[in-house]
Amino acid sequence: MTVMDQFSRLGVNNPQEILESVARATQNGFVAFDLENQITLFSSKMVEVTGWHDAEMIGKSTSELFQIQDMSSPELDASADSVSHHAVTLFTRDGKQINLEARKTAILDEESKVIGYLMFFIIEDYNKDLDRAQAEFISTVSHELRTPITSIKGFASTLLNGKQELPKEKRDKYVNIIKNQAERLSRLVEDLLAVSRLESRKLQLTIHPVRIYEMVDYISEVVGSKHSFSHKITINSTEDLPEVWVDKDRLEQVLTNLIDNAVKYSPESDKVDIQISEAELEGKPMVRIDVIDYGIGISTEDQQKVFTKFSRLDSPLTRITEGTGLGLYISKSLAQLLGGDLLLESQEGQTKFSLYLTTEQHKGGELWWD
């Protein structure tokens, strides 16, 4: 007995009505769309998860709501009981992207001709992941904030409450610690703001053509001086490099992070090499900046991890170096926003971060946000 036969026995004969009841009640969101990929039904769970109202979505193209990530999977055959599984990215109303699993099945007419599709999104895991990620994020941020705050409070109290006048040397030392910790707090807050802007897509980019050699040279000098020139930073570049189209401030942030890491995570070495050359990425003309250090390296299994939020690898060196674990996450996101990418190759004793920047003119700003 078909599902329709079962509903007929209940006196329900209109498939649209049935679908609408299910759409109102189910905990798993789903949408229906026609052969032109226009959305014809948008369940209430989808409203809750994506923030789009159904009235906004009906009639819109599915590409505005989701993208199937595994396009290579076999196309659905049109038999009534076939279901294909997909990894999809959902686009929410406030600009977030949610990755989840979905199932697609054909809607057939009375002659078994495909007239559209139903796409079910598996929401339960997404909710659990979201709650867990949020709780972890709050706990990590609180911990990161608490350390410098405790230290500022402690040294300020010592300065204020000392029974007798502290010698000038000690006083200066404590004031310096307070200043450094306040700077650490401010860097952390800046990084958190950058993450928040990136994730809510509120980051405004101002794109100009920039001569990359001069910029790398300048930032190497700044980072070198911050580390009291502990490493000799050498820049090799091919001649007549084209200009890159970037947001200068954002690029400065990325380059500073990469060169700073190269110095920080190679204390036993005394050099960092930077190579700048023309390259291609996915067929597009780019300039590639390789930042190479001869330090502790990053194991193969940790190489993806370092690009995620708050990831600091567990090593004695990481424990004694300062950092938020946000730098590479921000850098990779920015590189991609600027139309390029940030890739990593590493083994023990050598790490190479390759930053790709586009040489093609683009207008930036809202470009990646639509």
Can you give the binding site for ligand ADP, defined by CB under 6 A? Answer: 257, 261-262, 265, 293, 295-296, 298, 306, 311-313, 318, 323-329, 351
Report which residue's Cβ sits closest to ligand ADP. Answer: 323
For ligand ADP, the closer CB: 29 or 295: 295
C-beta of 251 vs 306, nearer to ligand ADP? 306
Shortest distance in whole angstroms from residue 293 CB to ligand ADP: 5
Q: Is 42 buried (19+), middle (13-18) or exposed (0-12) by CB count in 10 A?
A: buried
CA atoms of 354 and 303, how far apart (whole Å): 13
* Residues 199-215 as b or e (16 or more Cβ within 10 Å = b): eeeebebebeebebbeb
By beta-carbon proximity to ligand ADP, the closer residue of 39 and 337 is 337
The 3-state DSSP class for residue 112 equals coil
DSSP string, 170-211: HHHHHHHHHHHHHHHHHHHHHHHHHHHHHHTT-----EEEE-
Pull the structure tokens for residue 136: 């972890």
Q: How far, in Å, are 24, 117, 179 from residue 21 at the CA level?
A: 5, 18, 61
Pairing between β-strand 232-237 and β-strand 284-293 as defined by DSSP bridges: unpaired
User: Shortest distance, CB of residue 257 to ligand ADP, whole angstroms?
Assistant: 5
Indicate the residue among 39 and 223 with the shorter CB distance to ligand ADP.
Answer: 223
Between residues 325 and 339, which has the closer beta carbon with respect to ligand ADP?
325
**Of residues 247 and 293, the one with the C-beta less far from ligand ADP:** 293
In Å, the largest CA–CA distance within the chain is: 95
Minimum CB separation of residue 345 from ligand ADP in Å reads: 11
Chain centroid to Cα 66, Å, comes to 18
